Amino acid sequence: MRRCLVGVTVACALALLPACGGDGDETDDTEGSQAETTVTPETTETTETEEAPDTTDTPETTETPETTDTGGEGFVLEGDGYVVTFPGDDEPEEQQSEVPLPDGTTVPITFSSQNVGDRSFNSAVASFEQAPADVTGSLEGARDEALRTAGDGATLRDSEMVDLDGIPGIRWSADVTSNGAEGTIVATIYQDGPTQYQVLVVGPGTFDGTVPEIAAFFDSFEITG
């Protein structure tokens, strides 16, 4: 039952997997715009250039660097029963949904996502009425369901059982294909009694959990509930 929840997270993350696009046309437009600027000198409205000093109110644009308080500290998300530091300074987008289970009941899942560069950083939490009888089997099943949701182009690269302060989990990575682009999923799923926590990163190209930004994201995850 709890396997489909990771599939929801993966499906949401894969939808954010960016496709590569060209920008060659933009360079042509810029060349055209330069040609237009050479025409403006003929309109010797140099009086307008005299007004330019008045436009020296551009110091207002110097206020934008204040927004650059990034400092690499990231955004600390205090989720439902967990804390994790996302690499970007913007607040992650949050989605909530009810996932239907085979027995006709539903389970609420809260999914948070932040895009940094061409990678999507994600966390999620869902609570069931009771803990699984076979935790290892449940975690492996959740991983397999995530791979199935990722599509035929998903191939498990590595997988290992881990624990976080005694809470069992499974850490795995896979090669995927989505939106015509080849990419990677790196994920960890924890099962704390009836509550399941998910932390995963999706992006184009091949990478693993040793990338400093990704390693810091996973290492910052703490279960507080």
Domain chopping of the chain, boundaries: 3-18+72-223, 25-67
Name the β-bridge partners of 170: 161, 189
| The pLDDT of residue 201 | 97
For residue range 54-63, list pLDDT tens digits in order. Answer: 444 444 433 3
Give the percent of the chain with pLDDT over 90. Answer: 55
| The pLDDT of residue 10 | 61
For residue 66, give both structure tokens: 């204040």
Ranges in the chain, pLDDT < 70? 1-72
Global model pTM greater than 0.75: no
3-18+72-223 CATH choice from 3.60.15.10, 3.40.1000.10, 2.60.120.620, 2.40.50.100? 3.40.1000.10
| The pLDDT of residue 47 | 43
To 10 degrees, the CA torsion angle through 72, 78, 83, 87? -20
- Give the SS3 label for residue 180: coil
Name the β-bridge partners of 98: 108
For residue range 154-171, list pLDDT tens digits in order. Answer: 999 999 999 999 999 999
Q: Are 225 and 81 spatial neighbours (Cβ–Cβ below 8 Å)? A: yes
Taking the C-alpha atoms of residue 68 and residue 216, their distance in angstroms, rounded to an integer, is: 21
CB atoms within 10 A of CB 28: 9
